[in-house]
Chains A and B, each alone.
Chain A
Amino acid sequence: METDPGGSDPAPQPVAVLEELLVSRGERLLHAAVLLTGSHADGEDLLQAALERVYKRWQRIDGDPEGYLRTTLYHLAADGWRRKGMLRARLGLLARADVQLDETTSVDDRDQLVRLLRELPAGQRTAIVLRYWEELSEAESARLMGCSVGYVKSAASRGLRRLRELRAAQADSPVTEPGRI
């Protein structure tokens, strides 16, 4: 790569860094996004929104881009991600409803608890994912969510309780065909 006339090396392009990041850590990041939203389509939207923010702030990032991307992802999720509908429309993903889901996107009975996550408020859902999937401490979860440790404790506790109630209610209901996320 050519260097600029000033003699200093050109800045690493966000495209190259993020492409490499997605190759090595993309599945883990998308997995988090799917859990945070309760659906594969919404999870892609959420990760896409986080990536756009990283692009926008690239010159201001002074740390690990993956860390920044993860933090942005969780911040968006904890905020309830108000722009969900706008982003999907912006990317034309409203058409996704017409797309036939293949086996890699369908979720069967084993993942009912994951689907129930979608019933939780955004803050509780995010706290559950951070504590029980990322297995972070309360302090680390609070830092990623941008909130207090007390909020993480209560959100995780309320979220778990609600999940158990939903699961119990489901167990009492007639068996339904496995849905798809």
Chain B
Amino acid sequence: MSTEIDYSETEHAGFEQRLRRELEQVTVRVPADMIPRAHRGYRRRLVTTRISAITGGAAVIAGAATIVAMTGSSPGVAQGGQRPGATTSHATASGIPAASTLPPPPGDGLTSAQAGHEISWVRTSLTSPAGATSVSDTFSYGPTSRTLGFSEKGTALYDEQETLVTGAGGSQTYATTSVSYAGGTVSRGTTPGPVQHHQPPLCPQTRQFGLSVISTSTLIASAAALLACPGVTVTRGVRIDGVKAVTISTVAIHVRTTDWLNAATDMPIQTTIVPYDPNLPNTIYTTRIQYGFLPPTAANLRYLSTYVPPGFRNLPSPTSSVPPGFKNRSSASASDRPR
């Protein structure tokens, strides 16, 4: 039997052992606000068709995803307040709002029912502990929503549109278009549609988790109920952006969340989420969400269309959304809950 040592095998084994050792040696610390941040990211995406569905306004479009163009402004919408520095909202040819425009806050004449006939515009500004702010804008009308992301310098980073499509037999899917300015790419695909799910009672949620877990659509539909929840702080007689307002506020999950509502209609004007734990290092971001509503004129409807700059290359559709081995539930049932 040969006793010659296979140096390559020994070297190989030694390298692998060293790799295992070094992979194990990396130290990490989990930031305290990962879950609130994930929820905020998810919450931005909730500003979709649910606003229209809950307020019972806009039409659901079946078949091919088209946007019905309307002319003129919605009747009966009183002029809202003016955000400092806001100019008239004019969609450019690309449907990307100019840097100087801000979502017009809901005035005293805009009820939640009327808001269902408007284009909602939600601007989220995230400010890091170092003071840099990045912005995203989400526009929603009927079955379509579009989200644009901007760097702290104001340059466009991404542009994503999602349209709910109802096919034959009532099955629903989302048709998606995603533009990446960083990569110079555009991808199109479909993802599974929404499933009905059990809505947990409102007040226990706020008592345990605070207002930061309340979605925008819930805020619009249930503001009056939220004002009455135990554990929230309500302050009346304030003003914001030229509008008489009432605030509701909670402290939970290391953050203080404050919602400003129009005092006459309870429509949301602004939400802020700020760090609230002096024992934590200052690594938590500050969030400001501004809500606005636009009449669905032909010009404003341009905000809902993704703009693909010339020369951007097409990418294949994203991979399957549900990892293998997990059941894909599609039926609506109150018993469909995660274990």
Which residues in window 47-71 of B have CB below 8 A to A? none
A52's contact among B28, B38, B180, B205, by CB below 8 Å, is which? B38
Q: Is the CB of B37 within 8 A of A91?
A: yes
Q: How many residues of B contact A (CB 8 A)?
A: 78
Which one of B79-87, B93-101, B127-135, B265-273 is at the interface? B127-135
Taking A10-B198, A83-B158, A92-B126 as contacts, is the C-beta distance between A104 and B132 under 8 angstroms?
Answer: no
**CA–CA, A94 to B132, complex, Å?**
8
A16, CB-defined interface residue at 8 Å: yes
Closest A residue to B159 by CB, please name it.
Answer: A86
Residues of A contacting B236 with CB < 8 Å? none
Q: How many residues of A contact B (CB 8 A)?
A: 82
Closest B residue to A89 by CB, please name it.
Answer: B157
Residues of B contacting A65 with CB < 8 Å? 338
B31, CB-defined interface residue at 8 Å: yes
Q: Is the CB of A1 within 8 A of B285?
A: no
**CA–CA, A1 to B205, complex, Å?**
9
Q: Is the CB of A35 within 8 A of B26?
A: yes
Residues of A contacting B45 with CB < 8 Å? 56
Min Cβ gap A68→B in Å is 6
Q: Is the CB of B19 within 8 A of A72?
A: no
Min Cβ gap B9→A in Å is 13
Of the listed residues A10, A60, A64, A79, the one surrounded by the most CB atoms of chain B closer than 10 A to its CB is A60
Q: Is the CB of A16 within 8 A of B26?
A: no
Known: A60-B329, A160-B15. 20 other contacts (CB 8 A): A16-B208, A17-B338, A22-B30, A22-B35, A26-B34, A27-B28, A44-B31, A52-B38, A62-B326, A63-B327, A68-B326, A71-B324, A86-B149, A86-B182, A91-B37, A92-B128, A92-B285, A99-B129, A114-B22, A146-B320
Q: Which 10 A-B pairs have the closest CB atoms?
A: A95-B132, A51-B38, A85-B182, A55-B42, A71-B323, A95-B128, A26-B30, A92-B126, A86-B158, A10-B200
